[in-house]
Chains A and B, each alone.
Chain A
Amino acid sequence: MTDGPLYNSILLGGRGGTNSGQLRVHAGGIAWKKQGGGKVVEVNKGDIVGVTWMKIPRTYQLGIRTKEGVFYKFTGFRDQDVSSLTTYIQTNIGVTPEEKQLSVSGRNWGEVDLNGNMLTFVVGSKHGFEVSLADVSQTQMQGKNDVVLEFHVDDTTGANEKDSLVEMGFHIPNSNTQYVGDENRP
């Protein structure tokens, strides 16, 4: 498939940082290729269960959620790309992109949303951050109220970030009734 809009300098974000590449959205799905070769991400139309737009500093981020519970983040779209690509996705992929808002308040409390492999931290109905549980090497309970996630340290992904997340701890007060018992261990 070579039809459909093509976007250059689109960053694929994830563990280890971001990689720049080329994203094509076509009638059969999406395809992203890393600049200079290497990593390729292809998602078939039928595997796309959700599409989101989020305004982030200076640019827009397109989120693609798959049937398998993977969430791809593509960053680097201009204002004018958003409406044209929204229309294209609606028409050709049959999914209506939703608008998500980034939390900028700087709070460290919110809700935890588990969807497939993704753990999303939601602050007052806005998007805080997300991490992939597939990268968690160990989960520990500390005391009655704390859960600590340890992340794989991976040097092979061509990581371009200077500071890499290795551990993250959540505090779940007794007043929280959403997660009890074993569900504390996602």
Chain B
Amino acid sequence: GAGDGRGVAKGSLDLIAYKNVNDIPPARELMIQIDQRNEAIILPLYGSMVPFHIATVKSVSSQQDNRTCYIRIIFNVPGAAVSPHDANTIKFQGAIYLKEVSFRSKDPRHISEVVNMIKTLRRQVASRESERAERAT
């Protein structure tokens, strides 16, 4: 691919969400954010906003009991049946993977928005990548 300045433009081997620290959008609040333009999710971990490329996300789900809401994000790890990282697995042998994170949220509406946005973004990126793969063959 010629690269359109976006995330997985060059294929998953060069998975890059941001090139520069200043490209990360400023956080309004310490909460999960979705950066659609750069195809990344940004998670609040110990007071810092930490970016993850959408291609590392395997699934997302939420759960609500009473007034508390939980969200769980599961990441791709090697060994899964279909992992876009399989090439990376070989390249980065010995690495440890972040497999999942769960957050408790004060805002159920924000969480359902986040879940929807992550799902939509995953679909968009996946369909673009499969189109690209088809064109390449």
Residues of chain A at the chain B interface (Cβ within 8 Å): 11-18, 55-58, 61, 73, 75, 102, 104-112, 121, 128-132, 145-146, 148, 153, 160-173, 175-179
Contacts and interface: CB of A to CB of B under 8 A. Distances in A.
B56 A163 contact: no
Chain A interface mostly: strand
B103 to A, nearest CB: 4
B125 interface: no
B15 A166 contact: no
A132 B46 contact: yes
A153 to B, nearest CB: 7
8 contacts: A16-B47, A75-B47, A104-B51, A110-B96, A132-B46, A164-B104, A169-B98, A171-B97
B47 A18 contact: yes
Interface in B64-106: 70-72, 75-79, 85, 88-89, 92-106
B76 to A, nearest CB: 7
Nearest to A18: B47
Question: Looking at chain B, what size class is its interface with the partner chain?
Answer: 35 or more
B48 A167 contact: no
Nearest to B74: A169
Contacts of A153: 104
A146 B95 contact: no
B101 A168 contact: yes
B60 interface: no
Interface of B: 7, 15-27, 29-32, 40, 43-53, 56, 70-72, 75-79, 85, 88-89, 92-107, 110-111
Given A168-B98, A171-B98, 9 more contacts: A18-B30, A56-B49, A73-B46, A104-B21, A104-B51, A131-B45, A148-B100, A161-B29, A164-B105
Given A104-B18, A105-B16, A161-B30, A167 B100 contact: yes
Given A105-B16, A105-B53, A121 B48 contact: no
Given A108-B56, A108-B97, A129-B46, A17 B104 contact: no
Contacts of A169: 98-101
A17 B48 CA distance: 8
Given A104-B23, A178-B94, A109 B88 contact: yes
A129 B45 contact: yes
B48 A163 contact: no
The 9 closest A-B pairs by CB, nearest first: A13-B47, A106-B17, A106-B53, A161-B30, A162-B31, A104-B18, A167-B102, A171-B77, A169-B100
B50 A128 contact: yes
